[in-house]
Structure formats: C-alpha cells, structure tokens
Structure 1
C-alpha cells in the first residue's frame, strides 16, 4: 500500500512461513481450544499449559504478528480486520494461545484501547500482547444473573483511592489471571445504569480471595472472587465516575463480537466452547454409525449449523464495521452461537449412543459425550444469556416496544431486593 502498510497477501505469506516453522501442528483428533465442558486438569497441568501459551504469545509478538488490530504505538501491528482474518486462516491446525484470546484481548484489551487513559494503554496493552498479562472480566455477580447493571459490588471514594467490597462469580481462569476489569457501583441514589464505574485491578493482592468452583465434570476453571476493602487508585479507573454503563455497553459489544473481533486470533472454523462439526464426525466414526442414514442427517445438520454460524459472524462483523447495521446486531451472532452450540452437543450425544455415557477405552471420540451434553446450556448462559440477546434483538435491532421494568427511573437504593443483598 502507498502508506507503507503491509498488504494482506504479503502478510499472509509471512505469517504462514513463521507458523509452519515455529508452531506445533495438531494431531487429527486434537483441538487447541476447549469444548463445552472444560477439560479437567491438575493444577500442574493447567499451569504448564498456560505457561506454554504465554511462551507462544511472546513468540508471536517477537515475530511481529501479535496485536494485529492494535495500534503500533501500543505494540500492535496497526493492521486491518482483513489481516486478522488472514492470520486466523493460517493458524488452522496449529497450536495457538487460545486461553489468552478471550477475555484478555477482547473484551478487556478492546475496552482498554477504547476507554483507557494514555498511561493505562501504554502500561498494559504491550504486556497483554507479549503474554505477560492475562486479564479477566469481573462482571457477573451471585445476585445479578444476566442483569449486570444491578451490580452490588461497591466502590467508595477515599481521597485518591477507591475501596471496593463485594463478590464476582463465574470468572473463567481467575485463579491464574493477573488483572481484572471490574464493574462496581459508585452511586446508589440514581437509577441502576447511572451509578456504575469501571476499574482495573490486580487479581492477586490483599483483600481478594479467589475460590474455584467445581463443575459437574470435575473442572475447576470457573471461580468466585470476594473483594474485601480492596484499595484501587483513581488512576486505575476506566472512564468517568458513574459513567460505567457507557463503558459497559461497549464492553458487552466486544464480548458478543468476540469471534468477529479484529483483536482476537482464533483459527477459522473454530468456536472455543463448542462441540465442532469435525469432532462430531469423529464420534460417528468411532461409534461405527457412518452407514446409518439418520446419523448422516445429523452430521449434515451439525455441518450446516457451523457453516451458517461462520457466515453469519462474517456478515454481522463486516456490516457493523462498515456502519451498515447497528452495533446491537452483535446480539444476533450471540443468540445463534448459543442455540447452535447446545444443539451440536446434543447431536454428538445422540450419535454416541450408550458409549456417550458409559464407555470403554476403545470407544474413542464416542466416549464421554455426556459431559458436553450436560454442560450444553452453558453456551446459552455464559457471555450474556440468549434470553438477553433476544431482548436486544427485539428492542434495539427490530425496534419493538421495550419491556416495562419497575426499576427504570428509581434510585437503585430503593429497588426491592432480598435482605441479604441490600446495601
């Protein structure tokens, strides 16, 4: 290009050469990203896997391939979404730092880039791109469900600092993360959306207790955090005081657009947290059911769901980037991803038959599909429920009348809630 920016074809060739020379190819039945039910690992295995992903991210940075969509002044490449898509195509079939992409690069890195101060961006974004900082979003709360604006975690001003108290939950990987992006309530005397502020804070510090949550498959990847008199300097505030909902709406936009994000490296066709169509083919193979016409129909359905999901993400992403459709349209991909992921987990379990629930060592990919089946609804809950996505689509995309809520214009202090959650 005339401005000196590397063209997409040249970038693709450079990326391909480096990937083939430096990253390990995956085995045919291996995936670089977890399925619905996060894999059970010992603490040593988890730390070793994370250390390897940090190492890979540092290698990618040194090769000039990290932070493709981040500006050059913060250590990124300053390139386009087309460059990111080219890289995503080239890493198919190779190891890559999957755990570092979400939520570290997006939504956390994206929110820092959009709302952070110059000092915050220069301090944290290069460290993120090098794999030195892993970030988590401290958003969901035990009492709030999907209503993140009903946050009860409080932040009280004390001179040049804020004192945070409260609890966050369902934070993936908080026990091994470095920093958190935290939504807290700074004003109880205004309606709930107007009294929120966003902060950044180190996760491992006095006053923060991180407890792992054991899932039905034995995984302890999810965590709950308890904040007790945690002091955060005002310099680590993101956006205006009581202006957290402005930050929060973009935060949730970046979360919904995750696999369309110009900041995230993820192999084309991969959907971390989902049972992929290719893995379902392996289930049918190892279950010995390829010749079953009903199974072939199910395989076709799974493949169709994956193709539609990929095409939908591209169409929504390009439409939003070009300004042709509302940013709220990201909820469409969120809804489809949740519903289709749950369906694909069900298809895999149906094909596996009895081996999905009770298996022997020679059942291969058909074994233990029950974990993904039992965990399938997490795809409709994590990252904002599909019910919330339906509301966004109906009200903000289709222009239907908004649902009436009794707390819209009431000071949050006066909104009825259980005695155990009152300020």
Structure 2
C-alpha cells in the first residue's frame, strides 16, 4: 500500500481502544503474575487456550490480527507503530497471550522469511485466525544451548524425509497444532552446515508428547519423541543443509520478542513475570510499605522497569532503522533475562516470612517462594543469557570468538557420549 492508503496511527489507536473496551474483558488484578506458577486443571487450561483462539479470531474479524503482517497473507499491512499502539491499548484486558510466542514469533516470522509462497498462503492466514497454534522443536536433551549440535535426524526417502529423535522444553506442545523442527540432514560436514528445517503436524503417528512436571507442579513444558515421522519435502523450510541460515534468523526473532512488530504484548509486560508495580502490592500485603529497606527494593524494581522500557525502545528504533545490526536483539534478551531474575529476587525479599510458607490468604506475597526457586527460567528459556553474552561480544562488539574444538570437524567425528552417536 502507498503511504496515503495507511490509516494514521492515532486514528487506528482510537479505533482499537473502542473495540477492545467494547469486546474484551478486563483482566483480574494480578493476572499473569509469577514465574511458571502451577495452573489449574488440564480442562481449565484447554478452556483457556480455546478462549485465546476465540479472541484471536475476533482480532481477525475486526481487522486487528497480523497488524504488521502482509495483506496478501491475511494481515493488515500496517506498521510497527500501529502494532505498538494496539499493544498499549490492550494493557489490562484479556488477549491471546499463549499464542504470541512462539506461534507469531518466531514461527510465523520464520515462515514469512523463508517459507514458500504455498506454505505462507496455507499457514499464515490460519495462524492469524487462531486456527493453528505453533511450537518450536529446537532444544534437545543432549544439546543444551548448543542448538547446532542437534541429533534429531532427517533422512531422505524419495519425496519425503524420515525424522527420528527427541526435542525438549517445548511449552504447550500438548495443546498445539504444528511444530517448526530443526533436524540434522548431513553428518559428514561441520555441525552448522548439516542442518535443515521442517514443519510438521504435532499430533500424528510417530510423535509422542510427554509433559514435564516442574518442582512447583507446573506441567507447561513438554518433551517430544519422534519415531519414523514422515515429512514431505514440500514441508521443508529453506534449502537442504542450510538450516543454520534459517536457524540464525529463527533465534533472532526469538530474541526480538518484546520488540517484534508481529506480536501483541501489553505495554505493562508479558504474562509470567514479576512486574515492578507488583512489588508495591507485595510490600503492602507483607505490611512493609513504611519499611525503608522495602522502599529501596521497590525503587530498584522501578529503576529496572524504566531502564528496560528505554532500552527496548532504543533497540526497536535502531533495528527498524538499520542503525543497529540484527544481532543487537541479544542485548535486549540479555537485559530482560537478568532483570526478570533480579525482580523476582526483589519480590522474594519483600515477602518476608511468606517467602518460605504461605496460604491462599496471603495476597500478593503467596507463591513468591516458588517464583524465587524458578527465577532462572528467565535466563534460560528463549535462549540462555550466556549465549546472548556470546552474541553481544562476538557479533555486536566484534570481539574474538571463543576457541571451539569442533569447529571445522565433520559432526560425525565430534566426540560425544556413545549413546548419542549418529
């Protein structure tokens, strides 16, 4: 569309505000607060996912789905500023939180970047309507943060590929529809040069989804076992053995989450975090609002909140304008991970005795102990902060790369546990 055909941001904002307030329910106080807290029953979780699909369809019907997605795939063809305005207006109201990541970013983003025209026209409209929820089959039990060391194999069989292996730490795979899969297609080249990306339906013969119970009872993470799963070559993303090119962009979109123009994340923060404003509620319910130490902790949380928003804004502008390299997204990933862990620690310190033992009547102080035990999730999920430090040092600052014994070595010859040899 030409510039003159695009609705101005303030008119769009007002239209979004009116629609949100007329169609969506306000969120209860404290909704989405906490770090991977144990949810309700499976039935209640499935009902919540069904409601999110419904809301996403409402977005689509009202012209608010895929705000910055191309119009030819069902999006609105608007700008990142329009998406930002919508995210600001939806703060405090229900929205399809579990669909934003990884369905919209990185999965739909990868499809837009590398998918064939047929793949985009088949899947992007379905994603925008809430008909397809996607997960990323990326991490593996044996690989940790070394994504390129994937052992899940894909072997060519005529017009198909046969996949075998295991993926892990997949959030919500048990209720999702499609997976974006990184697999090894060549063992005789260095690890980064023998990977290929595929897409596949999750619920099919040959795929077993096992749920992982965390120490607080949360079962959001899953592990998948793929046994002789047949995938047509038409469901390959990118070129054979060039999966690292796709993977690099894939991980860029994962780090970009809070700055991505493809996702809706309320201005007051994503679900599953401890927000700085919540620290005041914890101090209040702990009876510590007048405690000078508690006020210092609240002040630190507020400072981190202000710096986070300022940094994310600067990164967003720099990346969109091209003044910052794409790899600068790792700066935001690093800072938000470390800050989330610190803010969770502040909440633990503010809660006092309720950090160790609490009841449902303890208000905002309840569950702060569990949040503290799981605080490092923010530094692991979505790519570890250690990897983000490497990206910042090597690819943003241009510092020398760490020595690696497997560099330039055929992956088949890289030493690893006997049970993991290909």
Pair 1:15-2:16 in alignment? yes
DSSP 3-state at the match of 1:164: strand
Q: State the match for 1:90 in structure 2.
A: 89
DSSP 3-state at the match of 2:330: helix
Contact in 2 for aligned 1:163/1:229 (Cα 8 Å): yes
Residues 168-201 of structure 1 show CA distances to partners (whole Å, capped at 9, x for unaligned) of 0000000000000000000000000000000000
CA distance in 1, matches of 2:250, 2:33: 23
Matched positions, count: 421
- The farther-off stretch of 166-175 and 360-369 is 360-369
Contact in 2 for aligned 1:104/1:128 (Cα 8 Å): yes
Q: State the match for 1:165 in structure 2.
A: 164
Residues 200-228 of structure 1 show CA distances to partners (whole Å, capped at 9, x for unaligned) of 00000000000000001101110000000
Q: State the match for 2:199 in structure 1.
A: 200
Q: State the match for 1:337 in structure 2.
A: 336
Q: State the match for 1:259 in structure 2.
A: 258
TM-score between both structures, scaled by the size of structure 2: 0.98
1:34 shift after superposition: 5.5
DSSP 3-state at the match of 1:3: helix
CA distance in 1, matches of 2:333, 2:46: 30
Residues 278-314 of structure 1 show CA distances to partners (whole Å, capped at 9, x for unaligned) of 2221111111100001100100111111111111111
TM-score between both structures, scaled by the size of structure 1: 0.98
Q: State the match for 2:229 in structure 1.
A: 230
Contact in 2 for aligned 1:357/1:367 (Cα 8 Å): no
RMSD: 1.0
1:37 shift after superposition: 2.1
DSSP 3-state at the match of 1:145: coil
- The farther-off stretch of 312-321 and 109-118 is 312-321
Q: State the match for 1:4 in structure 2.
A: 5
Q: State the match for 2:99 in structure 1.
A: 100
Q: State the match for 2:280 in structure 1.
A: 281
Contact in 2 for aligned 1:286/1:364 (Cα 8 Å): yes
1:239 shift after superposition: 0.2
Q: State the match for 2:213 in structure 1.
A: 214
Residues 86-127 of structure 1 show CA distances to partners (whole Å, capped at 9, x for unaligned) of 001100110100000000000000000110000000000000
Unaligned runs of 5+ in 2: none
Contact in 2 for aligned 1:40/1:217 (Cα 8 Å): no
Unaligned runs of 5+ in 1: none
| Distance verdict in 2 for CA 1:280–1:159, change over 3 Å | same
CA distance in 2, matches of 1:359, 1:394: 43
Q: State the match for 1:133 in structure 2.
A: 132
